[in-house]
């Protein structure tokens, strides 16, 4: 089975760049999606298909993927970016949707 591994927490200073990783095997044939979840709110799609941004998501949010790691990059971090971030894939082998355990981003 596919397990998506995320660091529990990442800290970044305002204005700096935060990188959140999602580890799993064989990302070459699956798309990775990222969600932001602020406290008390529903998740929000911020990156889909490895690197595409939905309408309304700032360009400061970007994504990349190699064969075994996907990365969400948040440039020029702001206080409003503080949230939990989850990666997600469709494991075609098991036909299951899988989420990473989530990363809490703190903007110090």
Name the residues that contact another protein, by CB under 8 A. Answer: 31, 33, 35, 37, 42-45, 48-49, 54, 86, 88, 90, 95-102
- Which residue, 14 or 52, is less far from another protein as judged by CB? 52
Q: Which helix (H) or strand (E) holds 12?
A: strand 9-12
What is the rounded CA–CA span in Å between residue 57 and residue 44? Answer: 10
Nearer to another protein, 23 or 76 (CB): 23
CB of 99 to another protein, least distance (A): 4
Residue closer to another protein, measured from CB, 36 or 81: 36
The DSSP 8-state label assigned to residue 48 in this structure reads B
Output the six-digit token pair for 18.
């935060």
Find out whether 103 and 7 touch, Cβ atoms under 8 Å.
Answer: yes
Q: How far is the CB of 20 from another protein (least distance, A)?
A: 14
Six token digits for residue 9 = 């927490």
Least distance between another protein and beta carbon 94 (Å):
8
Least Å from the CB of residue 43 to another protein:
6
Cβ 21 vs Cβ 101: under 8 Å: no
Count CB neighbours of 39 within 10 A. Answer: 7
For another protein, the closer CB: 48 or 76 = 48
């Amino acid at each position: 089975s596919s397990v998506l591994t995320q660091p529990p927490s990442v800290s970044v200073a305002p204005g700096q760049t935060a990188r959140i990783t999602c580890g799993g095997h064989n990302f070459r044939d699956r798309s990775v999606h990222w969600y932001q979840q602020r406290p008390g709110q529903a998740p929000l799609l911020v990156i889909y298909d490895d690197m595409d941004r939905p309408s309304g998501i700032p360009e400061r949010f970007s994504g990349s993927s190699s064969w075994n790691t996907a990365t969400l990059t948040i440039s020029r971090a702001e206080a409003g970016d503080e949230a939990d971030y989850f990666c997600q894939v469709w494991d075609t082998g098991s036909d299951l949707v899988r989420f990473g355990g989530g990363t809490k981003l703190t903007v110090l």
